[in-house]
Structure 1
Amino acid sequence: MQFSEQWLRTFVDPQLDSAGLGHLLTMAGLEVEEAEPAAPAFRGVVVAKIVEAEKHPNADKLKLCKVDAGTGELLQIVCGAPNAAAGMKVPCAVVGAVLPGEFEIKKAKLRGVESFGMLCSARELGFSEDHSGLYALPEDAPVGTDIRAYLGLDDTLFTIKLTPNRADCLSLTGVAREVAAITGGEFRPLAIDPVAPAIEARRDIVLDAPQACPRYCGRILRGVDARAATPDWMVRRLVRSGIRSISALVDITNYVMLELGQPLHAFDNAKLQGAIHVRLPRAGEQVLLLNEQTVTPAADTLLIADEARALALAGIMGGEDSGITLDTTEVFLESAFFAPDAIAGRARAYGFGSDASHRFERGVDPELARGALERATRLVIELCGGEAGPVVEAVATDALPARAPVRLRPARARRVLGIVLADADMLALLRRVHLQVERTGDDILVTPPSWRFDIEIEEDLIEEIARLHGYDNIPAIAPQGSLMMLPSSENGRPVWALRHLLAARGYQEVVNFAFVEEAWERDFCANENPIRLANPIASHLSVMRSSLIPGLVGTLAANRKRQIDRVRVFEVARVFERKADGDPVRGFHQVMNIAALAAGQVVPEQWGERARSVDFYDVKGDLEALFAPRELQFAPLSHPALHPGRAAAVRLDGHMIGVLGELHPVWVQRYELGTAPVVFEVALDAALAARVPAYAEISRMQAVRRDLALVVGNEVPVERVLEVLREAAPALVREIALFDLYQGKGIDHDKKSLAFKVSMQDTRRTLEDAEVDAAIALLVTHAETVLGARLRGAGA
């Protein structure tokens, strides 16, 4: 909520400067997000009257003005504003004045004519963006008065961030009440005198849904001049509260809402038929709203209607068909209390919001409706004329919210707050915020006023005591305790170790939302039934992710749009899937995964290495480094997110733990990625598991190497050949590794030659040739038997 400090000080004027007031509000729980001046610094600008305005002798678009600036003599000023006219009162920067941006006004000569000052627009003074012409001042503005003082520009605009439970502070009255309570200053609430009816005109009100609207007040005003100008003081207060001035009648309803916290609405009474009904919608009923949007209200959306049709969405927005115009002469003014549950979430469901719905869904004082109506009536009569009819009020007393007493135990409050505070001090603090308190034995019984929706339990009262006493007056005592050294197992490693390892290989960690676009789940996971959110924070973030890959692709897309080609990112986070015995929520399973994406060049652009795009094997090496010294196995895989033929299932100890591959070309094109990234995603538990170190003697003997070239069918994966060779390897074989693949001359077109390095070593003695030859023969024989392989160079 935004408001003017000067306006606030008409209700309560603490002996604090702007900075002190902002700090006090923040420490009281009304966090000040911004505090900025109403206008930038300038000096030497006064109220002036244009006495004459004639055409410049040497320029068609300039005027030569004679201006009375209160100096005792008329100033000659050349002006280019199209609205400059004799008789206007405008801001005038005299010679020597300094405007925003340190622009100094000097005597000048424009098209051969001397000019002794400058007539100003609102934008040139920095308090508005309007630059269409000179800023017109009221006719009664005193000539020669400093414009900062006259317009109240030495003002601070506060923007406070309220928690949803403090709807009572969505008004100047509410904020002032809090400031008075905290500072002990005098609170000067607005005195509201009822307006005596001058006409008999009235309109009946029927509450067809009393639980949703237990109080509704309205009255008719006739002879109203809707074209009357909104007074300058009201426009300034509205604008400084972030609300644009529209017309006098609309401005008055907005002004009272800001002043008291009660939203109001004005209908054109001539467009209404019969009684006003507060009801739920009929089947197929539609409403054309003031924002020109036609909606079909849901069954639980409250409507304001007459005998013929629906007029407005109750507590949200009025209808176009019954709205006031500049030709309106007869007004039906509404002021009501709508239950928060009847308004909450309805505006968002239709894709918009309003100041009224923002207040009603958080809670408006149910006792305020009639007083606000009287206040608005008086302002309408004073500014727009007319006569008022009697107030018609419909009340369902049993449906009005009751403020139940809350019991406070002073001893518990002291224990929770950790400070010594006497019972009498607690009573005094609670009375300062208009709470009714009485002693009942050792306890205090507290009844909140009608505007405090947030006080329901004992903890609410303890919080009140804390903030009124002052959070900065509660000492911060460092917690003390004894800690035990917990055992650290060697069969696991911490998550930070994985993060450091990936960071060392050039990856940067990202944190993405766990809720994603439904299209992502469909595209990357082939998930047609994702877990949907009941109340998403945005319409496009409506489902829970079942994979981390879409989020990483989204990160890449955002970087590519910013001309960043080389991207390496990873994420450690939860994914969500449906599972009957899920943990921790039944029906849903939450799994921790680790995923990474690499795109662009393998190394940053440099002169020492030729540019090459990252490929499958680069990222495969990063993944293997993540699990080293354990060895991963890879097998062909079909995955909706990955390129056919360039994707693999990742296995560890025979169990599938994730996927690795190049992104599918369809998604590369659809998400405008340019080149295909390579991604992997594996279960975090598998990556955290570690092999317990085991002692093995280092051999002093020289190792023996033999190269073994086997010819196998193209369909046989290398992984399978290695597996078969390792099955048959005797104890003296320490390593079997592939170092060459050959297909071509001398090899059948459906075959391939795989060359392996076989290292053999004994820890106690040098191996003999016979032992080495026997080991190689054993490997060849087993490969021939299991795989149908043959030794390259041997006969077919």
Structure 2
Amino acid sequence: MRVPVSWLRDYTDLPEGVTARDLAAALVGLGLEVETVDSVGADISGPIAVGRVLSIEELTGFKKPIRHCRVDVGGANGTGEPQNIVCGARNFGEGDLVVVALPGAELPGGFAISSRKTYGRVSEGMICSAAELELWEDHTGIVVLPAGSAEPGEDAYGLLGLREDVLDIAVTPDRGYALSMRGVAREAATAYGTAFRDPADAAPAGTPGGGYPAAVADPAICSRYVLHGVTGFDPEAPTPAWMKRRLALAGVRSISLAVDITNYVMLELGQPLHAWDRSALSGPVEVRLARSGEKLETLDHVTRALDPDDILITDDSGPINLAGVMGGAATEIGLSSTDVLVEAAHFAETHIARASRRHQLSSESSRRFERGVDSALQPAAAARAVRLLAELGGGEIDRGYTHIADESAAGPRPIAVAADLPDRVAGVSYGTGRVRAALERVGCTVEEDAGGLRVTPPTWRPDLTDPNDLAEEVVRIEGYDNIPSIPPRAPAGRGLTAGQRLRRSVCRRLAATGFTEVLTYPFMGERDLEGLQVGADDPRRHALRLSNPLSEDEPLLRTTLLPGLLKTLVRNVGRGFNDVALFETALVYIPRPGAPDSAPMLRVDRGPTPEERESLAGALPDQPRRVGAVLAGDREPGGWQGPGSPATWADAIETAREVARSANAELVVRAAQFAPWHPGRCAALYVRIGGEERLVGHAGELHPRTVAAYGLPERTAAAEIDLDAVEEAGGPATAPHVSGYPVALQDVALVVEEGVPAADVEGALRAGAGDLLEDVRLFDVYTGEQVGEGRRSLAYSLRFRAPDRTLAAEEIAGARDAAVAAAAERTGAVLRG
């Protein structure tokens, strides 16, 4: 809604010195979204005055008609002598009042006016058109002012409103009243405590009854319907300059006087109007819903198939209007219309909103109707329109008018609200007196009773339906910026949960090792799973389908983090980042066995019942938290010191180990085959919970088919691990005891079958060595003729240390032999000679 400040001042006297920006700040403080303050005409400067054309000399010999004019500009030129001006326009004559830009003026676009010789004569200025002054959209020629409206030499800035401040307000759906000068002026009066002059308070123009015959089929679709007519209207009467200018500043194009008046009243009062050529109507008017198969050609000359939910205005010929959205072409008012019938109605908001979207017609009328208009405003709006038609178009107002109202429909219902509710909402002690005063400033009627306040909202605020709405109004009027900022106090002894601390620790640890955290959408598609080479019987195929997905390519809730991470990796590589390490900590969604495929739809007019909550909880999937990581390119970049180190499957496994270390959990790694990893470079990850091993994820190099399907760099590695399970396996971190006694190193080389995991051999060594063993490290793997086909040699370094003494050689040898014996017993290992 564009609001010219000068127009706003017609309805409230703003304090002296208040600028447009001050007003914008005050309205923002009341909750209106003022997006911009436009200074229209700020690029116009210099002398621009009213002139009277004294004489016109037609110049010949040129390709187009040229006129040499003598124009009286009074004392605006400093001499009082007439100005000689060359002009090519033809729509004015001797004696007409015109607008003259004198030498030294500058018009929009940086067009400077000076005395210059043109067409063989000296032109001392310019006679201006509306387009040249950017007053309104007009291509008919020079601005000709009505006779007697001004005197030669009078300043044109104030007369035409060449310089205006305009507020551009983004009106939210709950504040439909702000789509009018009346509504914004009421807010401005509230902000500054000034008197508000309601333009809808004028007396009716006529008496109800005896107007054009009409009927409303169902009061539920139209609770109030008014028709008021004017006869003897001059269809060629021009729209006055002041109205054209105000419409242009508000962003509305001038069309004809009758249409301009309906638009002007709509902007002024917020009530959409429609004007018919009464002679084009056939019989009584009826407001009803559309019937199957009906069609209507609207004013944009598109024939539309009507829906049974559409509200129509009809006569004996059929539909003539799509109510609240757009008029019909057959009854359009034109340049021969002398009898005008004005319609003002209160239509059902939801019907208008659906019709506007159904027919893809968003009009100024539909924007207001769907947000809710004043349900009592229609007689006043129609009266205002017919008065303007009679005053500006020379018509005569009908003595009677049609007024159909639903007598059974009550007005705004009273709302019982506790007097201290705004206090409790805002945390400010307003008191009953201030609460009552604030609500009365909004327009509410307030009565006190034993239980608090009984508040009846005004008809122009259909959004006030709940005690909380009223509390919000009090807080808004009292000022959001007056609510003190009080930091909440954290209860003693509370802080982050163990899970929160773990997630932060994981994120910090991975970031410290070179990873970048990303957030991806929790959606995936069948194509993503096919790219991962996931089999048809894989549980990850069983995913929940969204009823309204953002993209038809991703209609499923993810069961793995990898699709989002891999697509993010591809996007980064495509932008020139060849060495990438990304991770994400997020939820996946695993449907529960036997759960329904869809969640129940709950009602919105009440809270859910215990049974409904239970059924809703039963439909929710399991949502474990996982950590996913992907790596591509060099893990360590190359440089002068040598070539870089590429990221491999081992780095993916080490990433999983870092996650486990954050939880102080021990990770067991075993070779495995699991999509989408390479079958020879895939590790299954286990933790020990309650003495048993639990699979928590996989890590390694991705399968070449997955790399090709996603367009990934070669040898891309990835890991995915269940963080909830790792947290369950972990425990509180304990500081190790640091012994001051020397360490003893022993190396052993064990020959095992190729299929024996190195982790099993390491576990056996640890179990056999006992408490003296400080650490075990695999430092060499050998396969060849010396160990035999199908076998391999694993060389381990064993570190022994006692906390209270220096170990004797016998103790070290005994612990070493016990470790080898345990490995031989559990894995079949043979000490290599």
Q: Flag whether TM exceeds 0.5 (same fold).
A: yes
2:776 matched residue in structure 1: 735
1:318-374 CA-partner distances (Å, limit 9, x unpaired):
456665566767665432212334445554466564433333233222111222223
Q: Quote the Cα distance in structure 1 between the aligned partners of 2:500 and 2:575.
A: 40
1:596-623 CA-partner distances (Å, limit 9, x unpaired):
6768754799855768987766555545
Secondary structure of the 2:196 match is: coil
Q: 1:236 to 1:661 in 2, by over 3 A?
A: farther
Greater shift in the superposed pair: 161-170 or 325-334: 325-334
1:587 to 589, 614, 619: 619
2:35 matched residue in structure 1: 33
Q: Quote the Cα distance in structure 2 between the aligned partners of 1:664 and 1:358.
A: 55
Q: 1:701 to 1:576 in 2, by over 3 A?
A: closer
Q: 1:763 to 1:305 in 2, by over 3 A?
A: farther
1:437 matched residue in structure 2: 446
The alpha carbon displacement at 1:127 in A equals 7.6
Give the count of matched residue pairs. Answer: 767
1:447 aligns with 2:489: no
1:705 matched residue in structure 2: 747
Q: Quote the Cα distance in structure 1 between the aligned partners of 2:488 and 2:8.
A: 44
1:393 aligns with 2:380: no
1:483 aligns with 2:491: yes
1:44-74 CA-partner distances (Å, limit 9, x unpaired):
15147798799999x9899897685652456
Counterpart residue identity of residue 345, structure 2: A
Q: Quote the Cα distance in structure 2 between the aligned partners of 1:702 and 1:736.
A: 14
Greater shift in the superposed pair: 154-163 or 727-736: 727-736
Q: Quote the Cα distance in structure 1 between the aligned partners of 2:572 and 2:85.
A: 54
Q: Quote the Cα distance in structure 2 between the aligned partners of 1:217 and 1:116.
A: 55
1:725 aligns with 2:761: yes
1:138 to 125, 134, 144: 144
Q: Quote the Cα distance in structure 2 between the aligned partners of 1:670 and 1:118.
A: 70
Secondary structure of the 2:623 match is: strand
Counterpart residue identity of residue 244, structure 2: V
1:152 matched residue in structure 2: 161
1:761 to 799, 820, 824: 799
Secondary structure of the 1:397 match is: coil
The alpha carbon displacement at 1:158 in A equals 1.6
Q: Does the Cα contact within 8 Å between 1:582 and 1:590 map onto a contact in 2? A: no
Q: Quote the Cα distance in structure 2 between the aligned partners of 1:125 and 1:695.
A: 82
1:106-154 CA-partner distances (Å, limit 9, x unpaired):
77789999876678788886888x8x98984333476655554333243
1:289-300 alignment, distance < 5 Å = 300=309
1:692 aligns with 2:701: no
1:504 aligns with 2:519: no
Q: 1:698 to 1:174 in 2, by over 3 A?
A: same
Normalised by the length of structure 2, the TM-score is 0.72
1:261 aligns with 2:270: yes
Q: Does the Cα contact within 8 Å between 2:702 and 2:718 map onto a contact in 1? A: yes
1:206 matched residue in structure 2: 216
1:180 aligns with 2:189: yes
Q: Quote the Cα distance in structure 2 between the aligned partners of 1:281 and 1:661.
A: 65
Secondary structure of the 2:166 match is: strand
Secondary structure of the 1:452 match is: coil
The alpha carbon displacement at 1:9 in A equals 0.9
Counterpart residue identity of residue 397, structure 1: E
1:300-315 alignment, distance < 5 Å = 300-306=309-315, 309-315=318-324
Q: Does the Cα contact within 8 Å between 2:752 and 2:828 map onto a contact in 1? A: no
Q: Quote the Cα distance in structure 2 between the aligned partners of 1:418 and 1:357.
A: 39
Q: 1:636 to 1:488 in 2, by over 3 A?
A: same
Q: Quote the Cα distance in structure 2 between the aligned partners of 1:687 and 1:254.
A: 67
Q: 1:415 to 1:201 in 2, by over 3 A?
A: closer
1:22 to 7, 21, 24: 24
1:364-410 CA-partner distances (Å, limit 9, x unpaired):
22111222223233344555666666533333322x35322234544
Q: Quote the Cα distance in structure 2 between the aligned partners of 1:483 and 1:63.
A: 86
1:625 aligns with 2:663: no
1:46 matched residue in structure 2: 48
Q: 1:286 to 1:90 in 2, by over 3 A?
A: same
Q: Does the Cα contact within 8 Å between 2:180 and 2:266 map onto a contact in 1? A: yes
Greater shift in the superposed pair: 578-587 or 493-502: 578-587
Counterpart residue identity of residue 407, structure 2: T
Q: Quote the Cα distance in structure 1 between the aligned partners of 2:794 and 2:119.
A: 92
Q: Quote the Cα distance in structure 1 between the aligned partners of 2:236 and 2:575.
A: 51
The alpha carbon displacement at 1:10 in A equals 0.9
Counterpart residue identity of residue 732, structure 2: V
Q: Does the Cα contact within 8 Å between 2:523 and 2:558 map onto a contact in 1? A: no
1:707-726 CA-partner distances (Å, limit 9, x unpaired):
557664xxx6xxx7234434
Greater shift in the superposed pair: 63-72 or 456-465: 63-72
Greater shift in the superposed pair: 236-245 or 316-325: 316-325
1:530 to 536, 541, 545: 545
Greater shift in the superposed pair: 662-671 or 234-243: 662-671
Q: 1:565 to 1:149 in 2, by over 3 A?
A: farther
Q: 1:113 to 1:17 in 2, by over 3 A?
A: same
Secondary structure of the 2:620 match is: strand
Q: Does the Cα contact within 8 Å between 1:64 and 1:78 map onto a contact in 2? A: yes
The alpha carbon displacement at 1:529 in A equals 5.4
Secondary structure of the 2:41 match is: coil
Q: 1:724 to 1:666 in 2, by over 3 A?
A: closer
Q: Does the Cα contact within 8 Å between 1:46 and 1:143 map onto a contact in 2? A: no
The alpha carbon displacement at 1:420 in A equals 5.8
1:165 aligns with 2:174: yes
Q: Quote the Cα distance in structure 2 between the aligned partners of 1:508 and 1:561.
A: 17
Q: Does the Cα contact within 8 Å between 1:62 and 1:78 map onto a contact in 2? A: no
Q: Does the Cα contact within 8 Å between 2:91 and 2:140 map onto a contact in 1? A: no
Secondary structure of the 1:11 match is: coil
Q: Does the Cα contact within 8 Å between 1:576 and 1:591 map onto a contact in 2? A: yes
Q: Quote the Cα distance in structure 2 between the aligned partners of 1:410 and 1:374.
A: 39
Q: Quote the Cα distance in structure 1 between the aligned partners of 2:706 and 2:157.
A: 59
Q: 1:179 to 1:299 in 2, by over 3 A?
A: same
Counterpart residue identity of residue 271, structure 2: Q
Q: Does the Cα contact within 8 Å between 2:312 and 2:322 map onto a contact in 1? A: yes
Give the % identical residues. Answer: 30
Q: 1:577 to 1:20 in 2, by over 3 A?
A: farther
Secondary structure of the 1:759 match is: strand
Greater shift in the superposed pair: 21-30 or 427-436: 427-436
Secondary structure of the 2:264 match is: helix
The alpha carbon displacement at 1:218 in A equals 3.4
Normalised by the length of structure 1, the TM-score is 0.75
Q: 1:5 to 1:188 in 2, by over 3 A?
A: same
1:237 to 235, 246, 255: 246
Q: Quote the Cα distance in structure 2 between the aligned partners of 1:676 and 1:352.
A: 54
Greater shift in the superposed pair: 44-53 or 725-734: 44-53
Secondary structure of the 1:499 match is: helix
Q: Does the Cα contact within 8 Å between 1:582 and 1:589 map onto a contact in 2? A: no
1:436-484 CA-partner distances (Å, limit 9, x unpaired):
2334458443322222223344444444444434445x46263675731
Counterpart residue identity of residue 11, structure 2: F
Q: 1:697 to 1:183 in 2, by over 3 A?
A: closer
Q: Quote the Cα distance in structure 1 between the aligned partners of 2:231 and 2:67.
A: 47
The alpha carbon displacement at 1:6 in A equals 1.3
1:616-658 CA-partner distances (Å, limit 9, x unpaired):
665555454333364365744346xx99999887655554556
Q: 1:551 to 1:124 in 2, by over 3 A?
A: farther
